């Protein structure tokens, strides 16, 4: 069998029911959690180029610029400034690991609500910050909120969506993430014109957080989560609403009950269980998929886009307009992913991405600013319909119930850990290596593509409780999972 191939027909028949208004509304509300993460990604880069913001918190950067003590590549090379951006991701790493146990015990929806309230508090503190301490404290609270929602929301979407359309529903998280980036770019473009604009940019984060939090309070938890917590009647009603009144949900409910029983019978600690040999492929994917996503350098572009454009000669307004162009390209191409991910599959999109990913490696200089923007838009487009949404989808669908929240937590934690390292070091890399910094990220595309080609199985259309089949029939991973999964569907 070819690497990554498998027979796309698990032992379980497709469950009854299709796409209903209830499941669409519920998943839209849940996916809106991506907007708070996207808004934060889009807002930080623009804020760090606003003169009033720098005057208040980072005056040394303005002094360097005025005294011409550094070249443009090194203008923003400040570890304190990068800490403003990266501190969120250390907090997110910690909360995403804690969220695993909380999500299993209290449900996916409740952790989304917790994340929303925490993010609200952080946004309020940032909007009213008077010193570096308040600024970093607000960022930490934002990180805690994002860690909770990023862990719970993709799992919620994968468990709630019909198997045939799970990819499209899960891409909704990235859709709202991209929408949040666009809104942030628009806010920055208007806010930089006023002296207190940075407060508006940072404080406006309470709006998407409030929308998501209120919405989450109005939806039900997933059937899987309710079954796992012993609420069988609520789980049945949730399934009926999701799959349609009059639909026979008993087969799907019975499979959830069986998976729940297996999960509860496991005596091992979930974080120990996932390191067992039979879950080796799951663990590898939960680590490498988010690592590779960040190795594309996408968040460097998102966080420091305005900084990069100013460094190559764009004016302040031009840099923010360029960032908006990137955000808009990203948003449009996410919709492409949602339209094709369940038709062409996950592997196709990831393998296709290498073409556009490598095309962003142009020599960065003041004379090539427009060309660089065009190439970066091509690069962002390739990311937006591949690694962007799939980093949330794939880890949320490959794990059996008993380690699903643990696996998603590890995936989110790795994402945050790598993001922290890259954001903390990028401005220094830009200062010392100039355009060579982008070659570093481009080289990862080759490694990522080889890995996907050889080791990532296709998972489109497979019910969550039948996902073990993709590992059993994989040319490499079957040696780890065959003996165990042939006896129990865990």
Residue pLDDT, tens place only, 14-55: 565 667 888 888 889 999 999 998 898 888 878 887 889 888
Cβ(409)–Cβ(97) below 8 Å: yes
392, 418 in Cβ contact below 8 A?
no
Which tokens sit at 182?
Answer: 């666009």
Percent of the chain at pLDDT exceeding 70:
84
Write down the mean pLDDT value for the chain. 82
For residue 36, which of 191, 146, 144 has the smallest C-alpha distance? 146
Q: Give the model's pLDDT for residue 49.
A: 78
pLDDT confidence tier of residue 468, bands split at 50, 70 and 90: confident
Give 66's pLDDT tier (boundaries 50, 70, 90): low
**Which residue, 479, 58, 470, 76, is CA-closest to 489?**
470
Top-confidence residue, 364 or 204 = 204
Residue 36: the pLDDT is: 92
Task: Provide the 3-class DSSP secondary structure of residue 248.
Answer: coil
What is the tens place of the pLDDT at every residue in 204-219?
Answer: 999 999 999 999 999 9
Please give the structure tokens belonging to residue 324. 């908006």
Using pLDDT thresholds of 50, 70 and 90, give the confidence band for residue 8. very low
pLDDT of 482: 63
pLDDT band at 110 (very low <50, low <70, confident <90, very high): very high
Over residues 303-347, the pLDDT tens digits come to: 667 767 776 667 778 888 888 888 899 899 888 888 888 888 889
Q: What is the pLDDT of residue 362?
A: 44
The mean per-residue pLDDT over the stretch 421-427 comes to: 77
For the chain, percent helix, then strand, then coil, each to nearest 5? 80, 0, 20
- What pLDDT is recorded for position 1? 42
Which of 36-40, 63-67, 287-291, 458-462 is predicted least confidently? 63-67
Query: Per this entry, what is the length of the chain?
Result: 490
Q: What is the predicted pLDDT for the residue at 356?
A: 55
Question: Is residue 122 scored above 90 in pLDDT?
Answer: yes
- CA separation for the pair 306, 300 (Å, rounded): 11
pTM recorded for the entire structure: 0.78
């Amino acid at each position: 069998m070819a690497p990554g191939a498998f027979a796309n027909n698990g032992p379980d028949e497709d469950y009854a029911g299709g796409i209903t208004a209830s499941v669409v509304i519920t998943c839209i509300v849940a996916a809106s959690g991506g907007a708070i993460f996207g808004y934060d990604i889009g807002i930080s880069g623009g804020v760090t180029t606003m003169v009033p913001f720098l005057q208040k918190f980072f005056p040394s950067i303005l002094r360097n610029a005025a005294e011409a003590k550094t070249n443009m590549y090194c203008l923003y090379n400040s570890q304190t400034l990068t800490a403003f951006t990266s501190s969120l991701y250390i907090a997110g790493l910690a909360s995403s690991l804690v969220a695993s146990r909380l999500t299993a015990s209290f449900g996916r929806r409740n952790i989304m609500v917790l994340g929303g309230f925490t993010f609200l508090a952080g946004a309020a503190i940032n909007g009213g910050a008077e010193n570096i301490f308040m600024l970093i404290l607000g960022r930490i609270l934002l990180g805690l909120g994002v860690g909770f929602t990023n862990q719970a929301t993709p799992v919620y979407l994968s468990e709630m969506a019909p198997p045939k359309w799970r990819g499209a529903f899960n891409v909704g998280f990235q859709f709202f993430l991209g929408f949040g980036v666009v809104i942030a770019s628009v806010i920055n473009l208007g806010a930089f014109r006023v002296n207190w604009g940075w407060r508006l940019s940072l404080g406006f984060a309470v709006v998407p957080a409030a929308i998501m939090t209120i919405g989450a309070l109005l939806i039900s938890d997933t059937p899987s989560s309710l079954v796992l917590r012993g609420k069988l009647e609520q789980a049945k009603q949730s399934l009926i609403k999701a799959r349609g009144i009059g639909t026979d949900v008993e087969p799907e409910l019975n499979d959830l009950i069986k998976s729940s029983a297996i999960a509860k019978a496991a005596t091992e600690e979930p974080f120990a269980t996932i390191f067992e040999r039979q879950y080796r492929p799951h663990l590898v994917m939960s680590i490498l998929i988010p690592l590779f996503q960040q190795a594309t350098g996408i968040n460097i572009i998102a966080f420091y886009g305005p900084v990069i454009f100013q460094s190559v000669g764009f004016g302040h307004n031009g840099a923010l307009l360029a960032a908006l162009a990137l955000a808009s390209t990203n948003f449009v191409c996410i919709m492409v992913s949602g339209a094709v991910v369940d038709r062409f599959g996950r592997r196709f999109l990831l393998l296709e991405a290498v073409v556009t990913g490598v095309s962003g490696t142009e020599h960065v200089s003041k004379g090539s600013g427009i060309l660089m923007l065009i190439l970066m838009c091509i690069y962002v487009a390739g990311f937006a319909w591949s690694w962007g949404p799939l980093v949330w989808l794939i880890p949320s669908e490959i794990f059996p119930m008993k380690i699903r929240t643990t696996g998603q937590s590890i995936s989110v934690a790795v994402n945050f850990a790598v993001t922290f390292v890259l954001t903390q070091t990028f401005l220094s890399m830009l200062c010392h290596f100039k355009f060579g910094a982008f070659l570093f990220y481009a080289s990862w595309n080759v490694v990522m593509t080889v890995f996907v080609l050889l080791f990532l199985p296709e998972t489109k259309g497979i019910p969550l409780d039948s996902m073990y089949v993709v590992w059993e029939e994989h040319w490499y991973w079957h040696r780890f999972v065959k003996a165990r999964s042939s006896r129990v569907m865990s």
